[in-house]
């Protein structure tokens, strides 16, 4: 799928490991977004989520005209039957130089459209975002995610303060208007 600004969206592949690793390291440099510190964005962390995504999930990358990966989204099903209708641990990252230009909305909308049309057995998509990431919370709500409570004091910030983590879910039954995506 080619976007107007020559950024292409395509399914992620295991060969994307090095590029996705670089992307996540760059995104983690700005605190308050991804949960992990830059030092915690290890090659094995990225390898594990790419494997899980490719074997039992759904993931896309956005590739620019230089073939650099500038955004990524993924989520995968837990490995037991009773959760096989769920995609969980959803994470999205857009390169800092391109944030705020619509790419996050594009790749997330593409992801949800694909769930809707290609994964009819998926009824629920889950993510968790820290309470202070207000723009991300509003963004997810605008895509149809609903807050499901509050995990108080779950996040330890570098300054020693604690904040809530906010679990959110997209339910297929909520989104009969998904055709608009």
Ligand X SMILES: CC(C)(COP(=O)(O)OP(=O)(O)OC[C@H]1O[C@@H](n2cnc3c(N)ncnc32)[C@H](O)[C@@H]1OP(=O)(O)O)[C@@H](O)C(=O)NCCC(=O)NCCS
- Which DSSP category does 79 fall into? S
Least distance between ligand X and beta carbon 127 (Å): 6
Least distance between ligand X and beta carbon 30 (Å): 6
Residue 100, helix vs strand vs coil: coil
Least distance between ligand X and beta carbon 92 (Å): 4
Residues that bind ligand X (CB under 6 A): 27, 33-34, 92-94, 99-105, 127, 129, 133, 135-136, 138-139, 142
Q: Give the nearer residue to ligand X in terms of CB position, either 95 or 172.
A: 95
Q: Give the nearer residue to ligand X in terms of CB position, either 80 or 158.
A: 158
- Measured from each CB, the residue nearest to ligand X is 104
Least distance between ligand X and beta carbon 118 (Å): 22
CA 16 – CA 130 distance, rounded (Å): 27
Q: Give the nearer residue to ligand X in terms of CB position, either 25 or 135.
A: 135
Q: Identify any residues that bridge with 58 across adjacent strands, giving them in sequence order.
A: 75
Measured CA angle at 170 (ends 5, 38), to 5 deg: 60
* Strand residue runs (E) in the chain: 8-11, 57-63, 69-76, 86-94, 124-130, 146-147, 151-156, 162-171
Q: Give the nearer residue to ligand X in terms of CB position, either 84 or 101.
A: 101
Exposure of 98 by Cβ count < 10 A (0-12 exposed, 13-18 middle, 19+ buried)? Answer: middle
Q: Give the nearer residue to ligand X in terms of CB position, either 99 or 113.
A: 99
Q: What H or E segment, with its residue span, contains residue 107? A: helix 103-118
Least distance between ligand X and beta carbon 108 (Å): 7
């Amino acid at each position: 799928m080619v976007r107007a600004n020559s950024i292409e969206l395509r399914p992620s592949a295991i060969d994307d490991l090095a590029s996705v690793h670089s992307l996540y390291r760059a995104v983690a440099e700005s605190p308050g977004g991804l949960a992990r510190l830059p030092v915690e964005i290890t090659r094995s962390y990225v390898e594990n989520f790419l494997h899980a995504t490719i074997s039992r999930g759904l993931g896309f990358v956005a590739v620019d005209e230089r073939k650099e990966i500038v955004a990524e989204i993924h989520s995968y099903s837990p490995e037991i039957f009773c959760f096989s209708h769920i995609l969980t641990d959803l994470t999205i990252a857009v390169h800092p130089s391109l944030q705020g230009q619509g790419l996050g909305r594009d790749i997330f909308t593409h992801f949800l459209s694909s769930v809707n049309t290609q994964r009819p057995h998926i009824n629920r998509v889950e993510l968790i975002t820290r309470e202070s990431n207000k723009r991300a919370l509003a963004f997810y709500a605008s895509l149809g995610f609903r807050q499901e409570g509050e995990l108080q004091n779950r996040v330890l910030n570098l300054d020693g303060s604690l904040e809530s983590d906010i679990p959110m879910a997209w339910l297929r039954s909520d989104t009969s208007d998904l055709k608009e995506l």
